[in-house]
Amino acid sequence: MTRRALVLGGGGITGIAWEWGMLAGLARAGVDLTGADLVVGTSAGSVVGAQVASGLDVERCYATQLEPSNGEVAAALGPATILRYALAQFGPGGPQGTRARLGRLALRTATMPEAERVAVIESRLPVQTWPDRPLLVTAVDAGSGAFATFDRDAGVPLARAVAASCAVPGVWPPVTIDGRRYVDGGMRSGANADLAAGYDRVVVLAPLPRGLGRMTPAATQVEALRARSRVELVSPDRGALRAIGRNVLDPARRGAAARSGVVQSESVLDRIRSVWK
C-alpha cells in the first residue's frame, strides 16, 4: 500500500496564505494533497496542517486568506532581534545549542501575554480537537533546545501545540506545555521534512526553505528522503516572493500571497502529480 505524506513548512502569515493558494490551485487541477496519510506542520505549516488533517474544505480555507485584514497589526522581526538571531549562531552545543540560545532570547523578550497569544491561535483555527488522521506539529524546547513533536496522543490541546509551533522567538511568547516552554519548530528546520521518512510519496511545501545559520535546509532533508521515497519540494518562485514581500508577518500581504500560490501551482502541477499519483 502506497503511503503519502504532506509536509507544510513555516513562513509566517504569508506562508499560510501561499500554502493554501498552492493547495487550492493543485486541487482545482485534480491533484488533491489534502488526502495525505500523514501531515507534518511546522510554524505556519502547523496552522495549515491542522486544518488539512481535519478535513476542512480547501476552497473555503483559501477564500479566508483573501478576506481583508481589517486593521490587523503586522508583527516583524526588527533589526535588533535579527542581530540577536545572528549572534545565537555562535557558541557551543551545535544546532541544539543554537536553538537553546534562541529559546533564551524568547524567554527574555517582553511580548504579548501567552494566554492572549494562545487565544489568537484558537480563534484562527476552526477546529479545536486533534484529527483522527496522523498529524505531527513541531516545536523546540526553549530551555534545552531539544526538538519536540506533538500529536493526538501527546495529551496537549491542539491550539496550544500550534501556538507553540508558531512562537517565533522575540516576536511571540513561548508556550507552556506540561511545565516546559516551547518555541517555533522552524528553529530546527523550515519544514522538518525528515519526519516523513518511511512514506512512499512526499510533497514538501516550504515557504522558507533555507532558514538561518545552523537550521537544516529543507532541501538537505529532502535529498535524504529521496533514498527511499519519491519526493517533491516546492518553495515560492520569483512571482510569489514579490507578492509575499519582505515581511512574512504582514497580514496586508496575505491575499497577494494566496493568489501567487494559485498561479505558481500551474508551473509545478506536473511535478507534483508525478509524485503524488
φ, ψ of residue 192 to 5 degrees: the values are 55, 45
Please report which confidence band the pLDDT of residue 71 belongs to, taking 50, 70 and 90 as the band edges. low
**201 with 2: CB under 8 angstroms?**
yes
- Angle between helical axes of 58-65 and 254-276 (0-180°, round to 10): 150
In a domain, 55, yes or no: yes
For 93-132, write each residue's pLDDT tens digit. Answer: 999 999 999 999 999 999 999 999 999 999 889 899 999 9
Which structural domain, as residue segments, surrounds residue 136?
Answer: 4-72+112-276
For 142-179, write each residue's pLDDT tens digit. Answer: 999 999 999 999 999 999 999 999 999 999 999 999 99
Could you give the angle at the alpha carbon of 218 between the alpha carbons of 216 and 221, nearest 5°? 80
What stretch of H or E contains 183?
strand 180-184
CATH code of residue 256: 3.40.1090.10
In 171-227, where does DSSP find H-type helix?
Answer: 218-225
Alpha-carbon Rg for the chain, nearest whole angstrom, is 17
Kindly give, in sequence order, each residue whose CB lies less than 8 Å from that of residue 1, ignoring residues fewer than 6 positions away: none
Output DSSP code: residue 208. S
Partners of 175 in the β-ladder: 182
In a domain, 95, yes or no: no
φ, ψ of residue 201 to 5 degrees: the values are -130, 130
For 29-70, write each residue's pLDDT tens digit. Answer: 999 999 999 999 999 999 999 999 999 999 999 999 999 877
Q: Could you confirm whether 37 is annotated as catalytic?
A: no
Q: Could you confirm whether 153 is annotated as catalytic?
A: no
Instruction: Give the model's pLDDT for residue 211.
Output: 72
Q: Quick one: which of 227, 174, 175, 220 has its CA closest to 199?
A: 227
* Of 165, 184, 229, 265, catalytic: 184
DSSP track, 8-47: E---HHHHHHHHHHHHHHHHHTT--GGG-SEEEE-THHHH
- Angle between helical axes of 114-124 and 158-165 (0-180°, round to 10): 110
What is the amino acid identity at position 13? Answer: I
In a domain, 15, yes or no: yes
Residue 197 has pLDDT above 80, yes or no: yes
Number of domains in the chain: 1
Question: Residue 51: how many CB atoms within 10 A of its CB?
Answer: 28
Q: Quick one: which of 89, 121, 120 has its CA closest to 105?
A: 89
Instruction: Give the model's pLDDT for residue 59.
Output: 98
In a domain, 60, yes or no: yes
**221 with 191: CB under 8 angstroms?**
yes
What does the alpha-carbon distance between residue 90 and residue 212 come to, in Å, rounded to a whole number?
12
For 214-262, write each residue's pLDDT tens digit. Answer: 788 999 999 999 999 999 999 999 999 999 999 999 999 999 999 999 9
In a domain, 22, yes or no: yes
In a domain, 94, yes or no: no
With the CA atoms of 113, 111, 161 and 79 taken in that order, what torsion angle do they form, in degrees rounded to the nearest 10? 170
In a domain, 58, yes or no: yes
In a domain, 143, yes or no: yes
What does the alpha-carbon distance between residue 213 and residue 137 come to, in Å, rounded to a whole number?
22
> If you count them, how many residues does the chain have?
277
**42 with 149: CB under 8 angstroms?**
no
Please report which confidence band the pLDDT of residue 198 belongs to, taking 50, 70 and 90 as the band edges. very high
With the CA atoms of 245, 249, 253 and 259 taken in that order, what torsion angle do they form, in degrees rounded to the nearest 10? 90
For 214-226, write each residue's pLDDT tens digit. Answer: 788 999 999 999 9
